[in-house]
Structures are given as C-alpha cells and as structure tokens.
C-alpha cells in the first residue's frame, strides 16, 4: 500500500468528520449494483477501518453480495453542504449487531437523522427509517475519493488537507 493511501487511511476520522448520511454500495457476481441507506457508520475497530451499520430490513442483497465478493463502496455525505467522500474497500466481516453495539448504532442513526431534518426532511419520515436490527459491516479502506459535487469529484484524496 502506498504511503499516500496509508496516510489517508490513518486520517479517516478527520476526513469523515460530520459526514453522517451514509449509503453502502455492493455488486453481485454479474456486476449488478445494489445500494442501501444505512443506519450510520462508526470508525474502527482499528485505523483504516469503519463499521457500517446496515439494517436487516432491506439489506438482504447487500449481505449476499458481500458474501460473494466483499467489494464495497461507502458514500458519506454532510447533507447541508453536500460535502461527500467515497471509501472503496473490502468487507472484512459481517456480523449481527449486538446489544453492546446498540448505543453506537443509535448515535450514528441520530446524527444521520439530524442532518436530514436540518435540510427539511420531516421528523416523522426520518424516524420511519429502519435501523434495528442491523448488521455490522466492517470495511477496510483501500481508496478514498472526493465526491463533493464539483470539479474535484472523483479525485483520489491523498491527505486530509486536500479537502
């Protein structure tokens, strides 16, 4: 892994700050895509990794795709500014979220909901989102891209200062 990529992986916390609206993209063996809104994301369990909380409701194809090939893209956005980062990587683990995870899922989901309500989505609609039960999808970041709409969208990020 190049030094630039390794630095970006170490700086994920800074890169992903305030990016609470999260979707996960996968593909099947025939390259058919699947995208699901998540309950949110937390950093870890170690540097360069994130845990994406994928609701059981609506997640069946995502889980099947991850079992087939492990390729994953996670898109994280700050709804009010549309600042967006895409993390491409490999799924290391998919496991049922436990009671010990519930607080992390709740906090991530509430941050997601606050951003959606701040841009005008009604609270009853936000609260209708399914977030539990869910599965923890642990992703090892391989590549990180700027995806904020504009001329730099698609550019690989090489360090946090490049935002």
pLDDT at 127: 85
> Within a domain: residue 156?
no
Tens of pLDDT, residue by residue over 22-49, are 999 999 999 999 999 999 898 887 888 9
Residue 8: its pLDDT value, please? 56
Assess whether pLDDT exceeds 90 at residue 74. yes
**pLDDT in the model for residue 12:** 76
Report yes or no on 160 lying in a domain. Answer: no
Domain region containing 121: 3-148
| pLDDT tens readout for residues 91-134 | 999 999 999 999 999 998 888 888 889 999 899 988 888 889 99
Residue 77 lies in a domain: yes
Cα separation, 156 vs 160, in Å, equals 11
Residue 159 lies in a domain: no
123-148: pLDDT as tens digits: 998 888 888 999 999 999 999 999 99
Band the pLDDT of 161: cuts 50, 70, 90: very low
Residue 155 falls inside a structural domain = no
Task: Give the C-alpha distances (Å, rounded to integers) separating 82 from 77, 125, 151.
Answer: 6, 20, 14
Look up residue 149 and give its two tokens: 């709409």
* 157 within some domain: no
Q: Say what the pLDDT of residue 19 is.
A: 84
* CATH number of the CATH domain containing 58: 2.30.110.10
Question: What's the structural domain count of the chain?
Answer: 1
Asked if residue 111 lies in contact with residue 126, where contact means CB atoms within 8 angstroms, the answer is no
- Determine, yes or no, domain membership for 62: yes
């Amino acid at each position: 892994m190049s030094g630039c990529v390794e630095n970006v992986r170490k700086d994920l916390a800074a890169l992903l700050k305030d990016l609470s609206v999260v979707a996960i993209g996968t593909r099947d063996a025939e390259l058919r895509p699947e995208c699901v809104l998540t309950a949110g994301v937390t950093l870890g369990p170690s540097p360069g990794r994130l845990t994406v909380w994928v609701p059981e409701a609506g997640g069946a194809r995502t889980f099947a795709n991850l079992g087939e090939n492990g390729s994953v893209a996670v898109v994280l956005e700050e709804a009010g500014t549309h600042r967006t980062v895409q993390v491409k990587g490999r799924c290391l683990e998919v496991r049922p979220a436990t009671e010990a995870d519930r607080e992390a899922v709740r906090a991530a989901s509430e941050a997601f909901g606050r951003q959606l309500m701040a841009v005008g989505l009604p609270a009853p609609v936000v609260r209708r989102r399914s977030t539990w039960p869910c599965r923890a999808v642990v992703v090892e970041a391989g590549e990180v891209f700027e995806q904020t709409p504009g001329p730099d969208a698609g550019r690989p990020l090489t360090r946090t200062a490049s935002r």
